[in-house]
A = this chain, B = another copy of it.
Amino acid sequence: MSRASDRAYEGIRGMIISGELPAGAPLGEEALADSCGVSRTPVREALRRLEAEMLVRRTESQRSFVADWSLDEIEDVFELRAMLEGHAARRAAERMDQATLGKLRESNERIGTAISGQEPDIDAFLEGNRIFHSLILDIASSPRLTSLLGSLIEQPVVWRTAHHYGREELRRSHREHDELLAAFARRDGGWADSIMTGHIRRAFHAYADAHRGLSSIDRTRQRAKA
């Protein structure tokens, strides 16, 4: 974390995820270097990493831009996530132990608390979700799978729209986690796979619905910036 290339990576990534740099924004190396307080060399390295994670795109003439995702591409990502996380859940169920099961239960209880109040705490919900899924990934014990999913999860566009989830979606997500826990407790890999796959696919449709409602706003906003 102390290295300049990490600062550049965190900085640029943060600006993309927060929306400070909107989709399609040009990413000049010099400008980024200034804004991160480092030289171009670590910025270049950060850009390559972000490109590998598909948060950044490069034209054939090597200019970098904030990646801009079509709904088709996003569906594509969710489809793959559904498959891979389903697989992770299957492996996790087969390898489940009491300690991890306890931590998963605890994590989902925190999610329950976060969404039970009058005004749901979305950030706490997202953080709990992150922990829940990463516990599963850990016990699935497949570094390669972890690495593949790493390039698919944490889509900024998804993160941002999670704030538009309704109470219903949040509650349903929490219930699906509970069902997953039941499958884990019984070490039933096939069951866990099915629930997780459905969980992710449902998340896509929740996203798509929210996005369609937002799309006209987004387009206006983008025109205003251009």
- Chain A residues near B (Cβ < 8 Å): 41, 44-45, 48-49, 52, 54, 73, 76-77, 79-80, 83-84, 87, 142-145, 147-148, 151-152
Contacting residues, chain B, for A41 (C-beta < 8 A):
41
Which secondary structure dominates chain A's binding surface? helix
Nearest B residue to A44 by beta-carbon distance? B45
In the bound assembly, the distance between CA atoms of A48 and B148 in angstroms comes to 16
Nearest B residue to A52 by beta-carbon distance? B52
In the bound assembly, the distance between CA atoms of A145 and B54 in angstroms comes to 13
Which listed residue, B54, B77, B147, B152, touches A54 by the CB 8 Å rule?
A: B147
A76 touches B151 (CB 8 A): no
The residue in A44, A52, A87, A152 that gathers the most chain B C-beta atoms within 10 A of its C-beta is A52
In the bound assembly, the distance between CA atoms of A125 and B76 in angstroms comes to 32
Nearest B residue to A74 by beta-carbon distance? B144
Which listed residue, B77, B79, B144, touches A76 by the CB 8 Å rule?
A: B144
Contacting residues, chain B, for A49 (C-beta < 8 A):
48
B76 touches A142 (CB 8 A): yes
Shortest Cβ distance from residue A52 to the other chain B in the assembled complex, whole angstroms: 5
Contacting residues, chain B, for A142 (C-beta < 8 A):
76, 79-80
In the bound assembly, the distance between CA atoms of A79 and B145 in angstroms comes to 10
In the bound assembly, the distance between CA atoms of A137 and B189 in angstroms comes to 28
B83 touches A148 (CB 8 A): no
Ranked 9 nearest A-B pairs via Cβ? A52-B52, A76-B144, A76-B142, A148-B148, A77-B144, A48-B48, A80-B144, A83-B87, A80-B145
Known: A48-B45, A52-B52, A147-B54. A83 touches B80 (CB 8 A): no
Contacting residues, chain B, for A79 (C-beta < 8 A):
142
Can you report 16 residue pairs joining A to B where beta carbons are below 8 Å apart?
Answer: A41-B41, A44-B45, A45-B48, A48-B49, A52-B52, A54-B147, A76-B143, A76-B144, A76-B145, A80-B87, A80-B142, A80-B144, A83-B83, A147-B151, A148-B151, A148-B152
